[in-house]
């Protein structure tokens, strides 16, 4: 997940609330009626849970993901791997017997890190592990050798602006939360360039580290010189901070061969179970297929993509066909800021009144605890009733504010949204690092996530009425 857009849109949500379609007045059923309707899905919910968690489909999303992730590897926008991933999924979704399997073309950024290398030259030789940040420029071919200034915050950088000229800024900001801390990754280069620095090295935005740098997208600003920028490990950032605090002079050699190519064509990958009664109405479940270029993208967002696919597979396996169309979208270009999702929104927004709910899982598929939901009070009450059917696996919580770079476009305009909530305690240990591999995934946890995702999407797609907004 990218997260930056998320923060942006969450700030917008209060202002935009007024823009949403309000159907509350015209909603036909009493809440008692709705409650009875939802209670009627009890057996189906149980059948979904049984199939996903204990039955024949047990571990399927995990196993499918393992084959996919092992075969394709990481899938950065613009890469051949992402092309291969889309081709693979197109074929797999067809083989799975889903309907309307198709690709919707999107222009996505194409950045490659190339060779990169950092070495501390003073006070001692020490190889610094780095991961260049997406969109970073390269160093000159001979690299950059410069003294380091270590700061713990943008405030400190601004206070010590005079010292930063011609230096490499090392940020050793503490990890508070991803949302709070990620601005150092996104804006570190810009802020360092403003005070005349020649490069920036940023402590990885990670809540725990075994010497593992984490990459991610960063943004230049027009009019500000573009300097090379990379993340370093928590350990190296702390070490340089200690050295600097002791007054030790630090000199670092940095070489990055990153290149930005013209935008390349990619695709959102779509498949459906077409609705039996209101086929034009859409319940959208999704995850993003692109990833960073390290690890296997098994967590971010292989898990979300594959439990979304699993939701359609489980419904098909049970011979169910909801009244509304259940649409799976595997987004492209999420890591560059929801590029695929924005285009999808632009293309399909004229149909917005037919979008019942948009769902995205992009914050891990660890042990689930419930659902985060964005929508009005009546819709929330309905979702709470649905979640009560997940009592057999004890995943009944409904939290505020759904997350997801790719669904925010719709939620901003009033479409109800949901995202999976799970145990995030280790998410930022692996996020955007070489550690994002199948080893972090647990088949039982993915089964539970798939059950939640399926029960919610199926019932919303099959109820008499769309969710009120």
What is the set of active-site residues? 334
Whose Cβ is closer to its own copies: residue 45's or residue 438's?
A: 438
172 touches its own copies (CB under 8 A): no
Whose Cβ is closer to its own copies: residue 237's or residue 328's?
A: 237
Give SS3 for 438. helix
Check residue 374 and report its DSSP letter. Answer: E
# residues near its own copies by CB under 8 A: 32
Please provide the DSSP assignment of 127-179 as one string.
Answer: EEPEEEPBTPPPPPTT-EEEEEEEESSHHHHHHTHHHHTTSEEEE----S-HH
> Which residues of 299-396 form beta strands (DSSP E)?
324-331, 355-360, 368-374
Peptide bond before residue 12 is cis, with ω within 30 degrees of 0: no
Whose Cβ is closer to its own copies: residue 56's or residue 124's?
A: 124
**Termini Cα distance of the chain:** 26
Minimum CB separation from its own copies for residue 69, in Å? 8
198 touches its own copies (CB under 8 A): no
296 touches its own copies (CB under 8 A): yes
Whose Cβ is closer to its own copies: residue 394's or residue 425's?
A: 425
429 touches its own copies (CB under 8 A): yes
249 touches its own copies (CB under 8 A): no
Choosing from 85, 148, 168, 239, the residue that interacts with its own copies (CB under 8 A) is 239
Cα–Cα dist 244/387, whole Å: 52
Cα–Cα dist 115/129, whole Å: 12
Minimum CB separation from its own copies for residue 457, in Å? 29
Instruction: Residue 424: name the closest of 361, 367, 359, 370 by CA.
Output: 367
Element (H, E) at 49: helix 42-49
Q: Are the CB atoms for 151 and 171 separated by under 8 Å?
A: yes
112 touches its own copies (CB under 8 A): no
Minimum CB separation from its own copies for residue 235, in Å? 4
CB atoms within 10 A of CB 43: 9
Burial class for 174, CB neighbours closer than 10 Å (0-12, 13-18, 19+): exposed
Give SS3 for 231. strand
Cα–Cα dist 454/71, whole Å: 26
Q: Are the CB atoms for 296 and 342 separated by under 8 Å?
A: no
Instruction: Residue 128: name the closest of 207, 212, 193, 184 by CA.
Output: 212
Whose Cβ is closer to its own copies: residue 86's or residue 341's?
A: 86
Choosing from 42, 153, 439, 444, the residue that interacts with its own copies (CB under 8 A) is 439
Whose Cβ is closer to its own copies: residue 20's or residue 215's?
A: 215
The residue range among 10-18, 25-33, 241-249, 361-369 that interacts with its own copies, by the rule CB under 8 A, is 241-249
Choosing from 90, 430, 453, 458, the residue that interacts with its own copies (CB under 8 A) is 430
Strand partners, 433: 214
Q: Which of residues 114-153 bind its own copies (CB under 8 A)?
A: 123-124, 126, 129
Peptide bond before residue 301 is cis, with ω within 30 degrees of 0: yes
Choosing from 28, 246, 247, 377, the residue that interacts with its own copies (CB under 8 A) is 246
Minimum CB separation from its own copies for residue 117, in Å? 13
Give the tokens for residue 141: 């071919």
Instruction: Residue 290: name the closest of 264, 267, 274, 312 by CA.
Output: 267
Minimum CB separation from its own copies for residue 222, in Å? 35
Whose Cβ is closer to its own copies: residue 253's or residue 429's?
A: 429
Burial class for 261, CB neighbours closer than 10 Å (0-12, 13-18, 19+): exposed
Whose Cβ is closer to its own copies: residue 27's or residue 171's?
A: 171
Minimum CB separation from its own copies for residue 243, in Å? 6
Residues 6 or more apart in contact with residue 147 via CB below 8 angstroms? 166, 167, 168, 249, 250, 251
95 touches its own copies (CB under 8 A): no
408 touches its own copies (CB under 8 A): no
The residue range among 99-107, 151-159, 203-211, 451-459 that interacts with its own copies, by the rule CB under 8 A, is 203-211
The residue range among 190-198, 206-214, 276-284, 343-351 that interacts with its own copies, by the rule CB under 8 A, is 206-214
Q: Which of residues 50-69 bind its own copies (CB under 8 A)?
A: 66-67
311 touches its own copies (CB under 8 A): no
Whose Cβ is closer to its own copies: residue 95's or residue 124's?
A: 124
437 touches its own copies (CB under 8 A): yes
Minimum CB separation from its own copies for residue 426, in Å? 10
Residues 6 or more apart in contact with residue 350 via CB below 8 angstroms? none
Instruction: Residue 155: name the closest of 126, 184, 135 by CA.
Output: 184
Minimum CB separation from its own copies for residue 66, in Å? 6
Binding site for its own copies (CB under 8 A): 66-67, 70-73, 123-124, 126, 129, 209-212, 234-235, 238-239, 242-243, 246, 248, 295-296, 429-430, 433-435, 437-439
């Amino acid at each position: 997940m990218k997260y930056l857009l998320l923060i942006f849109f969450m700030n917008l949500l209060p202002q935009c609330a007024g823009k949403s379609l309000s159907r509350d007045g015209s909603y036909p059923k009493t809440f008692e009626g709705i409650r009875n309707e939802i209670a009627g899905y009890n057996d189906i919910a149980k059948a979904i849970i049984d199939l996903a968690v204990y039955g024949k489909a047990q571990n399927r999303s995990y196993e499918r993901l393992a084959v996919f992730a092992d075969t394709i590897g990481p899938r950065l926008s613009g890469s051949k791997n992402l092309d291969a991933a889309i081709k693979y999924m197109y074929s797999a979704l067809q083989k799975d017997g889903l309907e309307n399997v198709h690709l919707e073309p999107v222009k996505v950024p194409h950045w490659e890190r190339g060779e990169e290398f950092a070495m501390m030259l003073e006070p001692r030789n020490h190889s610094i592990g780095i991961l260049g940040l997406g969109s970073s420029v390269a160093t000159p071919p001979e690299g950059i050798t410069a003294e380091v200034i270590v700061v713990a915050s943008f405030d400190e950088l601004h206070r010590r602006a005079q010292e930063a000229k011609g230096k490499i800024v090392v940020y050793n900001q503490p990890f508070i939360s991803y949302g709070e801390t990620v601005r150092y990754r996104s804006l570190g280069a810009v802020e360092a360039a403003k005070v005349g620095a020649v490069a920036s090295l940023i402590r990885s935005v990670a809540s725990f580290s075994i010497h593992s740098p984490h990459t991610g997208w960063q943004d230049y600003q027009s009019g500000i010189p573009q300097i090379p920028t990379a993340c370093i490990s928590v350990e190296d950032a702390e070490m340089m901070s200690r050295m600097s605090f002791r007054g030790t002079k630090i000199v670092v050699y940095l070489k990055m061969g990153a290149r930005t190519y013209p935008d390349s064509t990619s695709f959102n990958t779509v498949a459906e179970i077409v609705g039996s009664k209101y086929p034009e109405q859409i319940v959208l479940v999704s995850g993003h297929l692109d990833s960073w270029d390290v690890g296997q993208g098994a967590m971010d967002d292989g898990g979300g993509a594959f439990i979304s696919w699993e939701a359609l597979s489980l419904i098909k396996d049970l011979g169910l066909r909801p009244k509304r169309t259940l649409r799976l979208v595997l987004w492209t270009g999420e890591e560059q800021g929801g590029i695929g999702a924005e285009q999808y929104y632009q293309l399909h927004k004229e149909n917005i009144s037919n979008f019942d709910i948009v769902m995205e899982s992009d914050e891990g598929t660890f042990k689930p605890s419930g659902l985060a939901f964005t929508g009005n009070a009546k819709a929330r009450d309905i979702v709470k009733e649905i979640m009560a059917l997940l009592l057999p696996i004890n995943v009944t919580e409904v939290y505020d504010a759904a997350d997801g770079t790719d669904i925010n476009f719709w939620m901003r305009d009033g479409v109800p949204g949901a995202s999976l909530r799970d145990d995030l305690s280790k998410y930022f240990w692996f996020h955007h690092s070489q550690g994002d591999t199948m080893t972090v995934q647990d088949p039982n946890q993915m089964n539970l996530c798939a059950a939640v995702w399926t029960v919610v999407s199926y019932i919303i797609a099959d109820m008499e009425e769309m969710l009120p907004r």
